Amino acid sequence: MLEIKNLHARIGEKEILKGVNLTVPDGEIHAIMGPNGAGKSTLSYVLSGRDGYEVTQGEVFYNGQNILELEPEDRAAAGIFLAFQYPVELPGVGNANFLRTALNAVRRKRGEAELDAVAFLKLARAAIKNLSMKEDFLKRNVNVGFSGGEKKRNEMLQMALLQPGLAILDETDSGLDIDALKIVAEGVNALRSPTFAALVITHYQRLLDHIVPDVVHVLSGGRIVRTGPAALALELEERGYAGLEAA
Amino acid sequence: MSASMQEIAERKYKYGFTTDIAMEEFPRGLSEDIIRLISAKKNEPEWMLEWRLKAYAYWLRIEEPDWAHVKHPPIDYQDLYYYAAPAKEAPKSLDEVDPELLKTYEKLGIPLNERAALAGVAVDAVFDSVSVATTFREMLSKAGVIFCPISEAVREHPELVKKYLGSVVPVRDNYFAALNSAVFSDGSFVYIPKGVRCPMELSTYFRINARNTGQFERTLIIADDDATVSYLEGCTAPMRDENQLHAAVVELVAMENAKIKYSTVQNWYPGDENGKGGIYNFVTKRGACLGKNSKISWTQVETGSAITWKYPSCVLSGENSVGEFYSVAVTNNHQQADTGTKMIHLGRNTTSTIISKGISAGKSDNTYRGLVKIAASASGARNFTQCDSLLIGDQCGAHTVPYIESRNASAKVEHEATTSKIAEDQLFYCRSRGLSEEDAVGLIVNGFCKDVLKELPMEFAVEAQKLLSVSLEGSVG
């Protein structure tokens, strides 16, 4: 379970999050929608521990542990996964090597045995098949020369292998065609279980046709200004975000 | 230093131990008498002594060069020891090698026991000024390959040594080459006869142990017509507060259709994080592609030394001959590296490739300096150069100094260069997937160096990757 209590955060002198309160129980998928500049990406970076985002007030608990004190890699080991809006390229680093290094780093911290190359390849090939990806993905360098859709698929592959308890999707749908959108949705839906929760951050409603959320929150001006069922997303699509600030 | 600090320091440079063994040292300083002593110690013929003395006379007349992008206090050449060797008589077989020395090499991961040795690698172990053991000599000699300490080659194979020693790097080539020619103590000699593909990798493992002692390694490798050899060298030294000098000369000769691959993993003690101590690595390495279709390939991973001054080069005389230089140079803390290559195209249709990857961290300075020279005679010559620099942090420097001289209009010379920093978003991306910051740097750096690392023989590639990560420990955050 993720619990965010009165979270304030700033970048430099600029306060972006101004008291976010949010609870995501295990087994649920919550969507966060909101206009540009509402603080959506800031929230995802604060949750995953990126440098440069200073928390000035509030607490974030994941499964009872205060994660704000953890390094990004320890949050990953604790089960938090951030799917990037713009996945980063790593020239010369093979995808298989990257995936295996990451998976073994996480497994080591979780007290699980590391996987040798053979066991890893078996696992990776199965995950690739599930995501209808080509096997040459493993041989290519991490995100280098990937199309937008391929980059997002690669995020889903990483997520499938790392088996997080909480996935945060930071506008993963931006710039995707409908086929790629479906892949992302399938990636998330495949992980649905009573021990998995997700925070789907999106500007548009269309992703939520494919990942149907249990709850929709609206983030505006650094605060959650509305919370409602999946239908709220449709309402927002129709009326836009105007007028929400005051609510 | 507390126990845990000690542990960290040792982890950073795990070869920093010293070997406690009875040593024979000549008096400090350099003179004709010292050179006579070295020559006598090695039972050298008169011609060798003459050669040394001529080199010494020339060295006395010239000045230390100052064009490299490095800074260090003046070296007092009279304050060094020029010869240090384990006191016991040279062993005649592996069974006679001092157990203390065997232990030293075990600790370095280089077992000299042939049964325990890495399969397929023959080792010549040079400890301070002498070769202490050479493995697999019998097996090699069956194939006609000569692999022995150069001091032995001077006595046993004078015709080859006379013909080729100084033929690629002349005594008067430069200050450090002249010094080396005067006082060189040991190193490896390799001769691969016509048509022979050397049945195993050959390697030399250089270890400096004694205090205040210069190591003057001399290596000579000759591949006759249609011969092939792959040679590796590794280097380590104890952690000491004083700077120590390593001034080596390596000469390679490739005849018709011959191929020589020379790989180095240089991990001399780099000094501490404040720049105290460390090896001055002033080295002249050059190969001559004399025959048609011959090929010389240098691959180096330079992570150690306080200062590196080194330009492994190829003189491409034979028609269609090929020169290659693949280099990774890492500097951290206060290390300085000025390294690169010279590709001298003399023959027709000669080609050369230069791939250089420089990584600077801490307060270090890393310079690529290279020359591509196309002579008027080198019609159809081609060169491709790629120089990439990676910066970690904002207090280090990367410099690229390429020289190109072309006197033949049909030649093609290409040069590409990039400079980049490890981006914050790359580090965060890796860390969000569970990698520690240092593992992330290691992964990104190894990716950056991939084009060079893949040129290393398997046994070295894995070691080199680990070494890169260790060398950059503490460089971020």
What tens digit of pLDDT does each residue of B39-58 get? 998 899 999 999 999 999 99
- State whether A76 and B433 contact (CB < 8 Å): yes
Tell me the C-alpha to C-alpha distance, in Å, between residue B67 and each of A17, B170, B331, B401, B475.
56, 20, 19, 12, 28
Give the per-residue pLDDT at B242.
74
Q: Out of A21-35, B2-16, B151-165, B360-374, which region has the weakest mean confidence (pLDDT)?
A: B2-16
Give the per-residue pLDDT at A37.
87
Contact B217, B187 (CB under 8 A): yes
Place of tokens 């440069």: A52
Q: Which of chain A's residues have a Cβ under 8 Å away from the Cβ of B433?
A: 76, 98, 102, 105-106, 158, 162
Instruction: Give just the sign of the alpha carbon dihedral B12, B356, B235, B214.
Output: negative
Average pLDDT of the segment spanning B123-141: 76
Whether residue A233 is contained in a domain is answered as no
User: Which is more confident, B196 or B210?
Assistant: B196
Q: Distance (Å) from the C-alpha of residue B439 to the closest C-alpha of chain A?
A: 9
Average pLDDT of the segment spanning B26-33: 87
Average pLDDT of the segment spanning B420-437: 92
Give the per-residue pLDDT at A243.
63
Task: Inform me whether the pLDDT recorded for B114 exceeds 90.
Answer: no
B 50-69: CB under 8 A from A: none
Task: Inform me whether the pLDDT recorded for B62 exceeds 70.
Answer: yes
- State whether B434 and A50 contact (CB < 8 Å): no
Whether residue A191 is contained in a domain is answered as no
Task: Inform me whether the pLDDT recorded for B7 exceeds 50.
Answer: no
- State whether A105 and B437 contact (CB < 8 Å): no
Question: How many angstroms separate the CA atoms of A108 and A130, rounded?
Answer: 25
The confidence band for A133, taking pLDDT boundaries of 50, 70 and 90, is confident
* Beta bridge partners of residue B413, listed in sequence order: B383
Closest CA to B427 of A93, A174, A176, A125: A93
Query: Model confidence over A41-73: pLDDT tens digits?
Result: 999 999 999 999 999 999 999 999 999 999 999
Question: What is the percent of chain B where pLDDT is above 70?
Answer: 88
Task: Inform me whether the pLDDT recorded for B119 exceeds 60.
Answer: no
Give the per-residue pLDDT at B409.
94
User: Which is more confident, B19 or B378?
Assistant: B378
Tell me the C-alpha to C-alpha distance, in Å, between residue A200 and each of A86, A167, A237, B268, B306.
15, 8, 16, 52, 51
DSSP collapsed to 3 states, chain A:
CEEEEEEEEEECCEEEEEEEEEEECCCCEEEEECCCCCCHHHHHHHHHCCCCCEEEEEEEEECCEEHHHCCHHHHHHHCEEEECCCCCCCCCCEHHHHHHHHHHHHHHHCCCCCCCHHHHHHHHHHHHHHCCCCHHHHCCECCCCCCHHHHHHHHHHHHHHHCCCEEEEECCCCCCCHHHHHHHHHHHHHHCCCCCEEEEECCCCHHHHCCCCCEEEEEECCEEEEEECCHHHHHHHHHCCCCCCCC
Closest CA to A92 of B428, B400, B465: B465
What interface predicted TM-score (ipTM) does this complex get?
0.95
The confidence band for B110, taking pLDDT boundaries of 50, 70 and 90, is low
Instruction: Give just the sign of the alpha carbon dihedral A206, A208, A211, A212.
Output: negative
B450 touches chain A (CB under 8 A): yes
- State whether A101 and B439 contact (CB < 8 Å): yes
Q: Out of B24-28, B70-74, B154-158, which region has the weakest mean confidence (pLDDT)?
A: B24-28
User: Which is more confident, B429 or B244?
Assistant: B429
User: How many domains, in total, are found in chain A?
Assistant: 1
Question: How many angstroms separate the CA atoms of A140 and A90, rounded?
Answer: 10
Mutate to test the interface with A, among B419, B433, B444, B446 (most CBs of A within 10 A): B433
Q: Distance (Å) from the C-alpha of residue A181 to the closest C-alpha of chain B?
A: 22
Q: Distance (Å) from the C-alpha of residue A96 to the closest C-alpha of chain B?
A: 12
- State whether A76 and B428 contact (CB < 8 Å): no
Sorted by sequence, the CB contacts under 8 Å of residue B423 that are 6+ apart come out as A88
Query: Nearest residue of B to residue A48 by CA position?
Result: B432
Whether residue A154 is contained in a domain is answered as yes
Query: Nearest residue of A to residue B422 by CA position?
Result: A90
Q: What are phi and psi of B461, to 5 degrees?
A: -60, -45
Query: Model confidence over A176-233: pLDDT tens digits?
Result: 888 888 888 988 999 999 999 999 999 888 889 999 999 999 999 999 999 999 888 8
Tokens of B119: 């399969």
Query: Model confidence over B391-425: pLDDT tens digits?
Result: 988 888 899 999 999 999 999 999 999 888 888 89
Query: Model confidence over B345-377: pLDDT tens digits?
Result: 999 999 999 999 999 988 888 999 999 999 999
Whether residue A41 is contained in a domain is answered as no
Q: Which of chain A's residues have a Cβ under 8 Å away from the Cβ of B429?
A: 84, 87-88, 90
Whether residue A245 is contained in a domain is answered as no
User: Which is more confident, B223 or B64?
Assistant: B223
Whether residue A104 is contained in a domain is answered as yes
B33 touches chain A (CB under 8 A): no
B451 touches chain A (CB under 8 A): yes
Query: Nearest residue of A to residue B420 by CA position?
Result: A91
Place of tokens 């230390």: B64
Question: How many angstroms separate the CA atoms of B275 and B295, rounded?
Answer: 39
Minimum-distance CB partner of A102 among B426, B434, B449: B434
Minimum-distance CB partner of B447 among A48, A52, A91: A91
Task: Inform me whether the pLDDT recorded for B340 exceeds 90.
Answer: yes
Give the per-residue pLDDT at B90.
61
State the average pLDDT for chain A.
91
Number of CB pairs, chain A paired with chain B, less than 8 A apart? 79
Q: Distance (Å) from the C-alpha of residue A194 to the closest C-alpha of chain B?
A: 23
Task: Inform me whether the pLDDT recorded for B6 exceeds 70.
Answer: no
Give the per-residue pLDDT at B283.
93
What domain range includes position A154?
81-166
Closest CA to B392 of B334, B477, B305: B477
Q: Distance (Å) from the C-alpha of residue A219 to the closest C-alpha of chain B?
A: 24
Closest CA to A143 of A80, A93, A101: A93
Whether residue A22 is contained in a domain is answered as no
Sorted by sequence, the CB contacts under 8 Å of residue B18 that are 6+ apart come out as B209, B238
Average pLDDT of the segment spanning B424-429: 92
Give the per-residue pLDDT at B92.
65
Whole-model pTM? 0.83
The confidence band for B33, taking pLDDT boundaries of 50, 70 and 90, is very high
Give the per-residue pLDDT at B9.
43
Question: How many angstroms separate the CA atoms of A142 and B105, rounded?
Answer: 39
Give the per-residue pLDDT at B3.
40
Task: Inform me whether the pLDDT recorded for A246 exceeds 50.
Answer: no
The confidence band for B4, taking pLDDT boundaries of 50, 70 and 90, is very low
Average pLDDT of the segment spanning B137-159: 91
DSSP collapsed to 3 states, chain B:
CCHHHHHHHHHHCCCCCCCCCCEEECCCCCCHHHHHHHHHHCCCCHHHHHHHHHHHHHHHHCCCCCCCCCCCCCCCHHHCECCEEECCCCCCCHHHCCHHHHHHHHHCCCCCCCCCCCCCEEEEEEECCEEEEECCHHHHHHCCCEEEEHHHHHHHCHHHHHHHCCCCCCCCCCHHHHHHHHHCCECEEEEECCCCECCCEEEEEEECCCCCECECEEEEEEECCCCEEEEEEEEECCCCCCEEEECCEEEEEECCCCEEEEEEEECCCCCCCCCCCEEEEEEEEEEEECCCCCEEEEEEEECCCCEEEECCEEEECCCCCEEEEEEEEEECCCCEEEEEEEEEECCCCCEEEEEEEEEECCCCEEEEEEEEEECCCCCCCEEEEEEEEEECCCCCEEEEEEEEEECCCCCEEEEEEEEEECCHHHHHHHHCCCCCHHHHHHHHHHHHCHHHHCCCCHHHHHHHHHHHHHHCCCCCC
State the average pLDDT for chain B.
86
- State whether B448 and A76 contact (CB < 8 Å): no
Minimum-distance CB partner of B432 among A72, A89, A141: A72
Query: Model confidence over A155-181: pLDDT tens digits?
Result: 999 999 999 999 999 988 777 888 888
Provide the residue count of chain A.
247
Closest CA to A109 of A134, A133, A132, A79: A79
Tokens of B136: 């697999």
The confidence band for B134, taking pLDDT boundaries of 50, 70 and 90, is confident
- State whether B435 and A48 contact (CB < 8 Å): no
Tokens of A38: 């509402």
Give the per-residue pLDDT at B421.
85
Whether residue A200 is contained in a domain is answered as no
Give the per-residue pLDDT at B265.
86
